[in-house]
Structure 1
Amino acid sequence: MGDVYIFGHKNPDTDSICSAIAYSDFKNLTEKGHNYIPARLGAVSRETQYVLDYFGVTVPRLIENVYTQVSDIQFDEPVNVNKDASIFQAREMMIKHNAGTINIVDDDGKFLGLATLGDISKTYLESSLDFSQYKVPVKNIAETLKGEVLVLKEEVFSGNIFVADMQIDDIQSRIKECDILIAGNRKDVQLMAVKGGIKILVVTGSHEVTDDVLRAAKANGVTVIKAPCDTFDAMKLINQSIPVQYSMKTQDLVTFSLEDTINDVKETMQKYAYRSFPVLDGRKRPVGMLARHHIKDYPRKNVILVDHNEKSQSAEGIEQANILEIIDHHRLGGLETEQPIVFTNRPVGCTATIILRCYEEKNLVPSKEIAGLMCAAILSDTLIFKSPTCTDEDVRAAKKLAGIAGIEIEKFGRAMFEAGTSLEGKTEEEIFFTDFKEFKVGDFKFGVSQVNTFSNASEPLKNRLIQFMEKLRADREYDFLLLMLTDIINESSECLFEGNHDELIKKAFGVDFAGYSFLLPGVVSRKKQVIPRIISAINSLS
């Protein structure tokens, strides 16, 4: 079952958030082939948060883009080995999993480095020349020998290995402190060794170790291990007890995160000849191995768009996503799809009005919570039916949904707007991007923001907003920016303007203004009363 993300436009308003949630609910009720997930492309406004809190609904997941990421594709399971594990254990893991490379991790599972079979073989060969250069956990020695620890005095050993294959006098002259002595069923050698300064006695052939040898070992701080193998095999096996961290590479490693995009992965892979690359999660733990064949043919993210159909208003990477449906009530904005899709675009005041019709066509009744969200979306977009975008269909839908949700339209709508329109404590950026949309018409790139208010903004605040807009226009290379401060009660909008196209704006709205602001009585809808006039004025230039 694949995931399908449903989301509205950037800088989401209440309709974008609530319609994404509602349509996800509808799709999950009616279709079982996918898992439909509501999402958002930006912060939730105070108004929307009030609605979500009122009906006890969780804020949708924030997604920054819809590029295909490493987390969206299939890759190989990793073979992770603790840094203290023996090279014997590491080699066995590689054989078991047919892995050419293993990840070395710390006790918390975090990535430290990589090791190949060649790296492990090199360590084994080097250890036969000088075993004393390594610090080896005693448990590694016992596990590698498949032996039994009869006496344990130290956890870690460092020293050389000697085999008791000579006369006892020769052995005594050669052993030193910190050495391992491998002995068979020779009690005299065993007693001499534990009293002579060795640190570990390995008794091979599963021979019994007498009590007096064990007592002497305890008294002299000597670890005793009884192993089933013969002396020759014990020598080879102990060399394989070295921790695998001595074999790992830590320099010039390339790893990927689950959030990396496939485009970035492809570009990086072209620079390196490695066969596979570790994939790390957010805690730097290896969760997979990524090879070139994994990114040849990969699935794109499946998405459904609500409340918008323009690329500039959608998620980053939308051109690489698989758009399944679009549910909208705005003008057509030029998004392209590779295959025919379900595109529902109706001239109503709110996307939620369209979604209610979807429920009705399936003879379904939304839950109280979903109905409440959809009603709030309609009241928000239509300014409680005062906006010229409001249709009879919106009014019918809102009244039906209010009945299901158990709310009074006027009372709830006013509380919702009061919660969302207060500008107190907000930065200029927060105010401007409360509900901002970017448009590209002909050679013009412009943006229009709308903020609903119950009271007039102060002059100092408007001056700060203009300064913010001036910098934003320069940074993002807009031709002009417009901020609508919409008075819901008096049904008018004061517009703050920043740009070099005063004459175009004057022509669009039939106003004659000096400075940065002008009043539009009776104008409360950006979609129906502002954008069409601007587009008409731009088109008239050509």
Structure 2
Amino acid sequence: MSDIYVFGHRNPDTDSICSAIAYSDFKNLTEKDYNYIPARLGPINRETQFVLDYFGVPVPRVIENVYTQVSDIHFDKPVNVNKNASMFEAWHMILQHNARTINIVDDSGKFLGLATLGDIAKVYLESSSGFSGYAVPVKNIVETLKGEALVLKEEVFSGNIIVAAMQIDDIQSRIKEGDLLIVGNRKDVQLMAVKSGIKILVVTGGHEVPGDVLETAGANGVTVIKVPYDTFDTVKLINESLPVRYIMKTEDLITFSLEDTIDDVKETMLKYRYRNFPVLDGQKRPVGMLARSHILDYTRKNVILVDHNEKSQSAEGIEQASILEIIDHHRIGCLETGQPIVFINRPVGCTATIVCRNYEERNIMPSKKIAGLMCAAILSDTLMFKSPTCTGEDIRAAKKLAGIAGIEIEKFARAMFEAGTSLEGKTEEEIFFTDFKEFKIGDYKIGVSQVNIFNNSPESLKNRLIQFMEKLRTDREYDLLLLMLTDIINEVSEFLFVGNHRELIRRAFGVDVGGNSFLLPRVVSRKKQVVPRIISAINSLS
């Protein structure tokens, strides 16, 4: 089942969060082919946290961007082999999965390196006089040779390999302490060997090993392995018990994470002509193998936007996503879609009012929690019906939802506003970006932030905010930045502003500004009382 993310604008407010949750709930109730997931593009504010806590609803997951990522691509399943696995096991894994490259991992599954079909084939073509330079698990030798450990005294072997293909005296002269001896059903050689300090005795041909040989081997700490192969095949196969970690590549490896974007992947693949690239998860465990063919056809992230429809207010990478629907109550901005979509844009005070109508049109009763979230969003966006953006539809919906949720509107709204307007302990950046929106109007780049307050803020805080805004304006090249400090109860906003466009302020609001602030009674709505006036003023100047 495919996931579809539903989210509001950056610096999300209560409407943005609650409408995303409510609309996801509505879609999951009415459509079963997809999984609708509410999300957010940034931290939630105190007001929204109060609302979610009040109704016992978890905070939606945060998404950094909606770029097409490796996680959106249908890549191949990986073939992962433990670092101590034998070459024999690695070879058969390659044949079984028809793979050309395998990932070598540690005991926790973490990626260590790669081994290719060529790397393993090379070992088959090489002969070795022993394992003196390696640490080979004895179980690898047993499994590779399909043998049976009759006496097990060693876990790991490191030493030379001797083949008993000569007279016993010659064999005895060649044996050194710690060797592995391969021998057939020659009891005299077997007894001599286990007394001479060898570590492992490999008996070929499936022959039974005499009891006194096993007893002597046990007494001298010698491991005895019986194998079905003849001596020639045993010698040929024993190299394959070498742990695959000894032939893996560990340098100049290129891997991708699930979070890497498709653009970055393409750029990297152009530089490196490898056939396959490992894909690692957050714990550095291989979860796939990526080839060039995989990035020719991929699925974009599917999203639904609520409470906004402008690119500058949406997620990073929104141009790469498939926008399926937009549910909004703001002016129509500049987003483009690749195909016709559901676009509901109504002149009401809150997106949740539109979402509520969707429930009603389908004769679906929202749960108490979802009704409470939608009611809280309406109360927040309409400032408890005092905002000029508020309509009769908002009031009707809020009252209905309050009844379902079992809350008293005025009592709940005051508690919500009181929780949300406290600036105590917040930095200037946190305050300014509580509810910030950027607008491209003509040749102007303008940012307008709004913070609701109950009591007048101290002058020292305002001065610090102005200093922060001036730096932000310079760093991000804004023409004008405004911060609305809105007193919800007294219906008045104090504006802090930075920029050199005082004439624009005068035309927009009819005030002459001497410093960096001005007061506008009965102005509480950014959408209806501020942005439209700025647009008109810019148009008049041009």
TMscore range, shorter length: over 0.9
**Cα offset, 1:123, TM superposition:** 3.4
**Aligned match of 1:64:** 64
The aligned amino acid for 2:337 is T
Q: Is the 8 A contact 1:123 1:246 kept in 2?
A: no
What is the aligned partner in structure 1 of residue 244 from structure 2? 244
2 CA distance for matches of 1:418 and 1:187?
93
- Aligned twin of 1:24: 24
| C-alpha separation in 1, matches of 2:389 and 2:127 | 80
Partner of 1:332: 332
Contact 1:4/1:302 (8 A) holds in 2 = yes
Q: Which residue of 2 aligns with 1:493?
A: 493
Could you report, residue by residue, the CA deviation over 1:292-339 in whole angstroms, capped at 9, with x for unpaired residues? 111101111111110000000000111111111111000011211111
CA deviations on 1:51-96 (whole Å, 9 max, x unpaired) are 0011111111101111111111211000000000001100000000
Q: Which residue of 1 aligns with 2:39?
A: 39
In 1, Cα distance between equivalents of 2:302 and 2:121: 46
- 1:459 maps to 2:464: no
Give the counterpart letter for 2:518 in structure 1.
Answer: F
Aligned length: 542
Q: Tell me the amino acid that sits aligned with residue 43 of structure 1.
A: P
Unaligned runs of 5+ in 1: none
Distance 2:142 2:21 in 1: 58
The whole-number CA distance in structure 1 between the counterparts of 2:123 and 2:83 is 14
Q: Distance in 1 between matches of 2:230 and 2:338?
A: 69
Output aligned runs, 1:145-224, within 5 Å. 145-224=145-224
Q: How does 1:343-362 map to 2 (within 5 A)?
A: 343-362=343-362
With over 3 angstroms needed to count, the CA separation of the structure-2 counterparts of 1:127 and 1:410, relative to structure 1, is farther
SS in 2 for 1:37: strand
| Structure 1 CA distance for aligned equivalents of residues 31 and 239 of structure 2 | 60
SS of 2:271's equivalent in the other structure is: coil
Could you say which residue in structure 2 is the equivalent of 1:443? 443
The answer as to whether partners of 1:469 and 1:498 remain within 8 angstroms in 2 is yes
SS of structure 2 residue aligned to 1:224: strand
Deviation at 1:224, TM superposition (A): 0.7
Contact 2:129 2:160 in 1 (8 A): no
Distance 1:142 1:484, change over 3 A: same
Residue matched to 1:484: 484
**Secondary structure of the corresponding residue to residue 22 of structure 2:** helix
Equivalent position of 2:398 in the other structure: 398
- Contact 2:305 2:325 survives alignment (8 Å): yes
Q: Which residue identity does 1:394 align to in structure 2? A: D
Whole-Å Cα distance in 2 between the matches of residues 152 and 502 of structure 1? 89
1:382/1:389 contact within 8 Å kept: yes
- SS for the counterpart of 1:201 is strand
After superposition, the CA RMSD in angstroms is: 0.9
1:425 counterpart residue number: 425
- The farther-off stretch of 173-182 and 399-408 is 173-182
Whole-angstrom distance in 1 between the partners of 2:370 and 2:410:
19
Quick one: which amino acid aligns to residue 105 of structure 1?
V
Partner residue, 1:90: 90
Q: Which residue of 2 aligns with 1:272?
A: 272
TM-score normalised by length of structure 1:
0.99
Shift of 1:384: 0.3
Contact 2:129 2:161 in 1 (8 A): no
Partner Cα distance (1:339, 1:219) in 2: 80
Secondary structure of the 1:489 match is coil
SS of corresponding position for 2:523: coil
Alignment of 1:226-237 (within 5 A): 226-237=226-237
Identify which range, 459-468 or 378-387, moves more after superposition: 459-468
Q: Per-residue deviation at 1:129?
A: 4.7
TM-score, structure 2 as length reference:
0.99
Q: Using the alignment, how far apart are the partners of 1:515 and 1:217 within structure 2?
A: 97
Q: Compute the displacement of 1:213 (Å).
A: 1.0
Structure 2 residues without counterparts, runs of 5 or longer: none
Q: Secondary structure at the match of 1:284?
A: coil
Q: CA deviation at 1:121?
A: 2.5
- Deviations 1:240-285 (CA, angstroms, capped at 9, x unpaired): 1000001100111000000111111111111111111000000000
Q: Give the CA deviation at 1:216.
A: 1.2
SS in 1 for 2:132: helix
The amino acid of 1:347's aligned partner reads P
Q: Match of 2:283?
A: 283
- Alpha-carbon distance in 1 for matches of 2:336, 2:95: 49
Q: Secondary structure of 1:18's match?
A: helix
- Match for residue 128 of structure 1? 128
Alignment partner, residue 2 of structure 1: 2
Within a 5 Å distance, the mapping from 1:289-300 to structure 2 comes to: 289-300=289-300
Instruction: Give the secondary structure class of the aligned counterpart of 1:323.
Output: strand
CA distance in 2, matches of 1:144, 1:86: 7
CA contact (8 A) 2:353 2:397 kept: yes
Q: Distance in 1 between matches of 2:27 and 2:519?
A: 43
Give the fraction of aligned pairs with identical amino acids, expressed as a percent. Answer: 82
Q: How far apart are the structure 1 equivalents of 2:287 and 2:461?
A: 50
> Deviation at 1:124?
4.2
Are 1:107 and 2:99 matched, yes or no?
A: no
Q: Is the 8 A contact 1:200 1:224 kept in 2?
A: yes
Which residue of structure 2 lines up, in the alignment, with residue 383 of structure 1?
A: 383
Q: Distance in 2 between matches of 1:282 and 1:101?
A: 21
